[in-house]
Amino acid sequence: MLWLVLIGRHALVDPAHTCACVGGNDPGLFMWALDWWPHAITAGVDPFWTSSIWFPSEIDLPATTSVPALSLVLWPLNAVAGVVVTYNFATLLAAVLSAWLAYRLCRYVTGAWLPSLVGGYVFGFSSYELGQTLGHLHLIPIFLVPAAVQLVLERLDGRIPTRRFVILLALVFALQVLISTEMLFAGLAFGLTALLLAFWLVAARRDAIRAAVGPIFAAGGLAVLVLSPFLYAAFRGLGPQPSLDWPALARVFSADPLNYVVPTPITWIGGAWAEPAAAKFNSSNGGLGGNYSESGAYIGLPLLALTGWYLARTWHRSFSRFALALLALVFIASLGAQLHVLEPPLIAGREYHEDLWLPWAAFAYLPVFDHLLPVRFAMFAFLIVGVLVARALTLPLRRHAWAPWLVAGAGVAALLPAFGGAYWSGKVTATPFFEDGTYKRLLAPGEVVLSFPMQSGESMVWQAESDWYFRLANGYIAAEVPPQFWNDPVAKNLLNDSGVGPVQPANLPLATRDFLDRHRVDAVIVEPQTAPFWVGAMDQLLLPKQEIGGVVLYRVDHPFPYIAWGPEQITVSFTPEGSVRWLVDRDADVTIVNPKPTPQTVILRGLIRGSPAFPGFHVRVSYPDETAQELQINPAGTFVQRRVTLPPGTSTLGMIAGGPKYFLPGNPTAHYLELRDFRLSPR
């Protein structure tokens, strides 16, 4: 109830438009994902791949944070109450489940319910959990971590049969894969390391540990077998992403050691006094503001002091030496590959000082490990501290038996969430255009819509709540942009709120229109409050426009068909669709056959690639009557459009590269003309 009041009070007041989060794009993608899996199953489409977003690209959903386990479990609630209510329920329930299963683990270890209650709270309602509730639904359900630890302990104690242990642990592994593969890989890494440490430091347990290794791997093998199609698709998505250097980003998101004792403003104790320091934790803007969702390592001095006191008093026990070694290992790993204390990255989103390397650097560049964010390892530290605090509260004391409880109470109070601020009152915009069904009058089912801002969680919610009425030529299912889109010459402009990118402002209207044609966009929807630049930019295209239901709607006509072509003969027709890239590193001809009895206008669109000093291409069009027309294509970096008239019959488009002087030495394809398409119109 306390968690519901502190975190969910705003969502309870307006459950259809308010989420227990900070708002922004991330909650929107999870709301979309919660609806995707039921939709895919009921519609009979492939749930692993979709072109419903980033059309016409095929998106590999198992490689994203698409939370299929949460989606399927909460399917009935989603069907009745919608994705916003379902998201809030998942956020609030996940933390409660995490605290409860941590309580069960502490109860198993200590045998005392009240100390275990404190230990469960420390884990389930930690500052790590508070940070992730700001918008990372896949990282909030951490209840499977204490569940897995308890299963292993029961196996080591001989309290659970082998077959049951394998089945239950395989179920835990499988569910974790379907919630967050990142947490699974991190949990496996630290879990196996914990077994090795226990084997080394706890001699009495060596035989039991040796006997448990086989069943643990059997459980892993069973989970892999059951989920092999999903895992195959997930691993396919781990390749390089041109839009985001994820390994570099992962190395940046590491814990500042001071964060373990200095809170952020999302805790009630972390007010103005802590903000100057917290602003430098994982800052992406040079220390002007911290990333509080990824600065959740705050345990606090009271809980750390109580943990240290317990370990000092019980140092003669092998368990305490093991716990300290494991806690130290997690702490050091959470600091990442490079030590940083109250300093933002040297370059935003890149690296810290390279002369302060830490042990995690040995793993940070390895496959899979390079996708783990070290700051999130603090979650394991909270579990260890929670168990140790519970054990500390069970120690018999002759004098001042109340003192450990007083310290524990202060530690728990320090973890309470902030009472003010807008951290858990994020707004899911109430857009009348979609809420009152206006979109059904102005959009046809299955049409392709481009929305601005392009990477917006709002548009994802629109699509989900419209029951997948339309497709999106953009989306936000991960921090990465699909390679097919990112490599588009105008993509960076479209993704920028001010249209800044490689295409110059004078060429942006033409380049935008070209994008709309190639992606077969039927309508453009702009949120005027969040993307005002794109209202003016779209106005320049002179498309039919309506300001309705809180959005600006543009209808896109497609008077010309697409003709995909290459450096071979092609017959012009009016049916094929596609886009074209032709890399010209030598003279080359393309033969165009116009089957029509009348002349046709070819609109030649393209982007000149290469250095700005490149003088450009000459295009010679040779006609059947042996006359010719030469066109000078502009210098590199400009988006061009040229019209060529084709008479009936065969014409030749000659690409005259002009010789080696146009190419960089040793790199003959450094400059080329990237032709987007032919568009034909009867004259």
Of the given ranges (119-128, 210-219, 225-234), which has the lowest mean pLDDT? 225-234
Joined tokens for residue 448: 């392709």
Long-range contacts from 282-290, C-beta under 8 angstroms, 24+ separation: 282/252, 282/253, 282/254, 282/256, 282/375, 283/344, 283/345, 284/344, 284/345, 284/348, 284/349, 285/344, 285/348, 286/344, 286/348, 287/343, 287/344, 290/264
First-to-last C-alpha distance (Å) of the chain: 72
The residues near 502 (Cβ < 8 Å, ≥ 6 apart) are 489, 490, 492, 493, 637
DSSP sequence for 198-264: HHHH-GGGHHHHHHHHHHHHHHHHHHHHHTHHHHHHHHHTTS--TT--HHHHHHHS---GGGGTS--
**Chain centroid to CA 225: how far?**
26
Q: With contact defined as beta carbons under 8 Å apart, do 244 and 253 qualify?
A: no
Q: What is the pLDDT, as a whole number, of residue 665?
A: 29
Of the given ranges (358-362, 589-593, 620-624, 659-663), which has the lowest mean pLDDT? 659-663
For the cut 50, the answer to whether the pLDDT of residue 585 exceeds it is no
DSSP sequence for 251-306: HHS---GGGGTS--TTBTT-STTTHHHHTTTT-SSTTSS--GGG------HHHHHH
Question: At residue 216, what is the residue type?
Answer: I
For the cut 70, the answer to whether the pLDDT of residue 389 exceeds it is yes
Q: How many CB atoms lie within 10 A of CB 276?
A: 12
Q: Rounded distance, CA 53 to CA 351, Å?
A: 32
629 vs 53 pLDDT, higher one:
53
For the cut 70, the answer to whether the pLDDT of residue 349 exceeds it is no
Tell me what the mean pLDDT of segment 126-138 comes to. Answer: 94
558 vs 58 pLDDT, higher one:
58
SS3 assignment, position 414: helix
- By percentage, how much of the chain surpasses pLDDT 90? 55
Q: What is the DSSP letter of 61?
A: G
pLDDT digits (tens, 9 = 90+) for 101-114: 999 999 999 999 99
Identify the band that residue 625 occupies on the pLDDT scale cut at 50, 70 and 90. Answer: low
412 vs 622 pLDDT, higher one:
412
SS3 assignment, position 430: coil
Burial class (CB in 10 A: 0-12, 13-18, 19+), 153: middle
Q: What is the pLDDT, as a whole number, of residue 10?
A: 84
- By percentage, how much of the chain surpasses pLDDT 70? 80
The residues near 76 (Cβ < 8 Å, ≥ 6 apart) are none
645: enclosing H helix or E strand:
strand 639-646
Residues comprising the chain, all counted: 683
345 vs 337 pLDDT, higher one:
337
Domain ranges within the chain, ordered by starting residue: 2-236+246-414, 432-555, 562-682
pTM: 0.83
For the cut 60, the answer to whether the pLDDT of residue 632 exceeds it is no
149: enclosing H helix or E strand:
helix 144-156
pLDDT digits (tens, 9 = 90+) for 488-530: 778 899 999 999 988 888 878 877 887 887 788 999 999 999 8
Q: Rounded distance, CA 491 to CA 236, Å?
A: 24
For the cut 50, the answer to whether the pLDDT of residue 675 exceeds it is no
Q: What is the pLDDT, as a whole number, of residue 574?
A: 25
Q: Rounded distance, CA 605 to CA 638, Å?
A: 11
Per DSSP, helices labelled H in 481-531 are: 483-486, 491-495, 508-518
Look up tokens 């600006």; give the residue: 552
Residue (of 539, 571, 572) closest to 553 by Cα position: 539
Joined tokens for residue 126: 């930690």
Burial class (CB in 10 A: 0-12, 13-18, 19+), 21: buried
Of the given ranges (7-16, 336-345, 594-603), which has the lowest mean pLDDT? 594-603
Tell me what the mean pLDDT of segment 642-655 comes to. Answer: 62
Q: What is the pLDDT, as a whole number, of residue 99?
A: 96
**Average pLDDT of the chain to the nearest whole number:** 82
Q: With contact defined as beta carbons under 8 Å apart, do 77 and 89 qualify?
A: yes
SS3 assignment, position 427: strand
Identify the band that residue 667 occupies on the pLDDT scale cut at 50, 70 and 90. Answer: very low
Question: At residue 27, what is the residue type?
Answer: P
Q: What is the pLDDT, as a whole number, of residue 397?
A: 87
For the cut 80, the answer to whether the pLDDT of residue 116 exceeds it is yes
539 vs 678 pLDDT, higher one:
539
In angstroms, the Cα distances linking 640 to 222, 635, 669 are: 56, 10, 20
Residue (of 132, 4, 15, 131) closest to 65 by Cα position: 132
For the cut 80, the answer to whether the pLDDT of residue 61 exceeds it is yes
Tell me what the mean pLDDT of segment 621-640 comes to. Answer: 49
Q: What is the pLDDT, as a whole number, of residue 346?
A: 57
672: enclosing H helix or E strand:
strand 672-682
Look up tokens 């109250």; give the residue: 342
Q: What is the pLDDT, as a whole number, of residue 161?
A: 96
Topology classification of domain 562-682: Jelly Rolls (2.60.120)
Residue (of 515, 497, 512, 495) closest to 455 by Cα position: 495
For the cut 70, the answer to whether the pLDDT of residue 172 exceeds it is yes
Tell me what the mean pLDDT of segment 158-185 comes to. Answer: 96
Q: What is the pLDDT, as a whole number, of residue 597?
A: 76
Helices 144-156 and 206-226: crossing angle in degrees, nearest 10, is 130
Q: What is the spatial order of strands in the sheet that 551-555 belongs to?
A: 471-472, 448-452, 523-526, 551-555, 545-548
Q: What is the pLDDT, as a whole number, of residue 152?
A: 97
Q: Rounded distance, CA 38 to CA 66, Å?
A: 12
Identify the band that residue 399 occupies on the pLDDT scale cut at 50, 70 and 90. Answer: confident
Joined tokens for residue 324: 């300290």
Joined tokens for residue 191: 């879990």
For the cut 60, the answer to whether the pLDDT of residue 633 exceeds it is no
627 vs 452 pLDDT, higher one:
452
Q: What is the pLDDT, as a whole number, of residue 680?
A: 34
Q: What is the pLDDT, as a whole number, of residue 352?
A: 66
pLDDT digits (tens, 9 = 90+) for 9-22: 888 888 888 888 88
For the cut 60, the answer to whether the pLDDT of residue 478 exceeds it is yes
Identify the band that residue 427 occupies on the pLDDT scale cut at 50, 70 and 90. Answer: confident
Q: What is the pLDDT, as a whole number, of residue 515?
A: 84
Q: Rounded distance, CA 609 to CA 635, Å?
A: 9
pLDDT digits (tens, 9 = 90+) for 525-581: 999 998 999 999 999 988 899 999 999 999 998 654 433 333 332 333 222 232 233
Q: What is the pLDDT, as a whole number, of residue 452?
A: 95
Of the given ranges (29-33, 92-96, 197-201, 348-352), which has the lowest mean pLDDT? 348-352
